[in-house]
Amino acid sequence: MIVLWQFGPALGLPSASPFCIKAQTWLRLAGLEYEARNALTPRQAPLTKLPYVEVDGRKIADSGCIARELSAARGIDLDAALDARGRAVAHAFIRMAEEHLYWAVLYSRWLDPAHWEAMKRSFFAALPAVARGPVAKLVRRKVERDARGQGLALHSPEEIYRRGAADIAALADLLGERPYMMGAEASTLDASAYAMLASCWEAQLDTPLKAAVGQHPNLAAYCARMKLRCFS
């Protein structure tokens, strides 16, 4: 049995964390059974971030390592249909989704004052009311430090959302009218792309990133298709 440690549901999503949604999506695309358990803090995680899995007495941290190691151990290749160029394109889009669009999502939830109160209510709902304010303040301060260190959060809100919308437009152009990002079959990229897009589109927050996804009917239809396949 694979046990997936994740941040619990929030904002109407299966997890507050895009990377935990990615891990769940990948496990479902790979057809692997797992049990999702919610952690209150990432402190016990091997890399102090979620998700991680426990499998065969071992802990594997990081959604990318989880996918790579389980693929090797279970003889799974979601990218078998891709040629070298397809793999290169998918690789670059995964990096864009996870290392750039992710930070715009993070900004929209944690640092944009327009959405912070709703995020705080949902993310910290399991905490006793008296602890919620102080804990949220501490965590938000860490998120701000991380996001400024990464660099995107140093920009103006307009620029952050412009860049996030450009990533979303690139995903819409890659998808076109095909069912999955790389064609007829779901591939590793779909786990990352869906996780980031769902975190914009399906979250109960009216952010500029949600509006950006709404500009692309093919992405809205893709999210509905992926949700039905992986989370119904």
Q: Report d(CA 75, CA 179) in Å as an integer.
A: 24
Give me the least distance between CB of 119 and ligand GSH, in Å please. 13
- The distance of closest approach from Cβ of residue 99 to ligand GSH in the complex, given in angstroms and rounded to an integer, is 9
Q: Closer CB to ligand GSH, residue 145 or residue 178?
A: 145
User: In the complex with ligand GSH, which residue's Cβ is closer, 10 or 172?
Assistant: 10
Output 30 or 172, the one with its CB closest to ligand GSH.
30
User: Nearest-CA neighbor of 171 among 204, 211, 220, 105?
Assistant: 220
Adjacent-strand bridge partners of 58: 55
Nearer to ligand GSH, 47 or 131 (CB): 47
- Given the complex with ligand GSH, which of 24 and 63 has the nearer CB atom? 63
User: Strand 34-38 and strand 52-55: pairing?
Assistant: unpaired
For residues 23 and 62, what is the distance between their CA atoms, to the nearest angstrom? Answer: 9
Six-digit token string for 85: 């160029």
| Tokens standing for residue 166 | 């450009």
CB 138 to ligand GSH: min, Å: 11
Q: Which residues bind ligand GSH (CB under 6 A)?
A: 17-19, 42, 48-51, 62-64
d(CA 115, CA 160): 15
Tokens 């891709």 label which residue? 82
Residue 114 CA, distance from chain mean position: 21
Which class for 52: exposed (0-12), middle (13-18), buried (19 or more C-beta within 10 A)? Answer: buried
Q: Residue 39 or 170: which CB sits closer to ligand GSH? A: 39
User: What is the closest distance, in whole angstroms, from the C-beta atom of residue 178 to ligand GSH in the complex?
Assistant: 25
Q: In the complex, what is the shortest distance from the CB of residue 144 to ligand GSH, in angstroms, rounded to a whole number?
A: 12
Beta-carbon contacts of 146 under 8 Å, excluding residues fewer than 6 positions away, are none
Which residue in 28, 132, 107 sits closest to 70, CA to CA?
A: 28
- Least separation, in Å, of the C-beta of 216 and ligand GSH? 24
